[in-house]
Structure 1
């Protein structure tokens, strides 16, 4: 096209946004793999969660301090004590309780199955929003719920036949983790607007870190922290590689691409978990498990995309 003044310049394709989104989803997907490897080193869930939060805590302390300094530089009011306490409580729900339930469930079920269960949390957001916050329930949510849990049922039955009743325990724990994270999403919405996303995230993560470290102090002896060098490396990886770094990548993606595009990219996460589980854990997937995973990802991807278009 001519370079005349009338020429229309088109913005470049936001490939970096898609790359950041996919990178964040894949790193989030690696969490279950790293946790499984840490369990093989003899690390228990309480110790691993405490190490994860302890290693990630300095990042959020620094980021939170910078956010407060920026508020002061702009002359904006600091959040009140009530807002800080509410943010801390909601953060403990989403980043401590949900994480602990997920960590505990991973003792009994595969990383792939756990990720697929967690992937259904948007449906619980819709259902709990209707039950607890009088939000309208949409038929598409019920349809997606039925299809996705039909897919999970295929995987569940296959796993029960192979591994027995422990699968039930693991599935229940991870389902409770998905419910806890859905409640966090519902409770965090208004706080995010009043506190700001960056500062709220830091308050939430600091609160979750205090809870995780406190839980360890109550349940485990301090000697449990003396893990092997390989176990310590895994704890650092789950803290930085599967917690801090993907958080920044997903935020960077949201600045460059639409919510719809980011929602669809998130469907990479369960697929990535399945691939990583085969490569690093030696997990295998039967035809019913693959079919079940496809049902979950298609139904949740469709529901999340259509929900994002409504906003």
Structure 2
């Protein structure tokens, strides 16, 4: 008697992918709010701190609630595990965020999102180099197509407004590399601590570091001059650009893994491009259309072939 092949519904975690897509879409809005804050004269450090000032109380309240409702979680938090979770959280939500925010001071929100969008490729490479994953060579053409699209937009920017382009690209690319490495480390933390507990510890650590950095560089007096509009930007950035997407993304990682989660980010650049044109008034030329199409097509091919590779391996 022959066995029928498993259906696609059995092999695809729809909930996991939905969580990852939602997190990617919300995270993609942060560049818009950051640019609006920069336009008001807020520094990179203060913008990141505003985001974290809003987010920190939320994460601390959730953390206390988790520990109160589930006392057994406290037994998981050995000093070594706690320090590891704090370090991984600082890498993904402080270092990567700061590099991204700093890069946005030099490049457009559209270009920033597309450069950051290359992190799934680094997830793949780091998985092979450091975490024992198997290399899938059929993914290389998709990666090259996406990087070709970035080169198209990079060349246009270089001919029109080259000031700060190399610095901005390097900073955002550094953020993508850092975040890719974080995804592998975060999955291992969540397998032990769970998604919610790890997210609260990691984000709280990143928030304290970001706020402390701003207190040193900007001083407490700088916050007294912020208008209600600036505080509203910080509130929106903290809730919709940080708290909600961080839980959604980490929940996606815990269900479908780092590589699959990273491949769902293709919806993010579309959201950013639409908002950047409508809200920030950024240009969207034929070169932007061509480059964006190449990046998104490369990502779609990457995700499709990755899903097939996972199905064959399973």
TM-score where L is the length of structure 1: 0.86
Asked if the contact 2:120/2:262 (under 8 Å) is kept, the reply is no
| Alignment-derived partner of residue 121 in structure 1 | 119
Query: What is the CA deviation profile of residues 209-251 of structure 1, one whole-angstrom value per residue up to 9, with x for unaligned ones?
Result: 1110121122222222231221111111110121113334557
1:199 aligns with 2:197: yes
Structure 1 contact 29–115 (Cα < 8 Å) conserved: yes
CA shift for structure 1 position 117: 1.0
Secondary structure, counterpart of 1:77 in structure 2: helix
Mean Cα displacement is larger for which, 60-69 or 275-284? Answer: 60-69
In the comparison of the two structures, how many residue pairs are matched?
298
Within a 5 Å distance, the mapping from 1:28-107 to structure 2 comes to 28-72=27-71, 77-107=75-105
1:168-207 matched pairs, under 5 angstroms:
168-207=166-205
Alpha carbons 1:98, 1:176 under 8 Å: kept: yes
Answer whether contact 1:260 1:308 (CA < 8 A) is retained: no
Give 1:268 shift.
Answer: 1.7
For the pair 1:296 / 2:292, whether they are aligned, the reply is: no
Per-residue deviation, 1:153: 0.4
- What is the RMSD of the two structures over their aligned residues, measured on CA atoms? 2.9
* 1:135–1:250 Cα change, 3 Å: closer
Q: Give me the TM-score of the superposition, normalised by structure 2.
A: 0.85
* 1:256 positional shift: 11
Q: Distance in 2 between matches of 1:215 and 1:263?
A: 29
Structure 2 unaligned regions, length at least 5:
1-12
- 2:7 is matched with none
Shift in alpha-carbon separation, 1:110–1:135, aligned structure 2, 3 A: same
2:75 counterpart SS class:
coil
Bigger Cα displacement from structure 2, 237-246 vs 148-157:
237-246
CA distance 1:84–1:21, shift in 2 (3 Å): closer
- The structure 1 residue matched to 2:164, chosen from 163, 166, 169, is 166
* Alignment gaps of 5+ in structure 1: 1-13
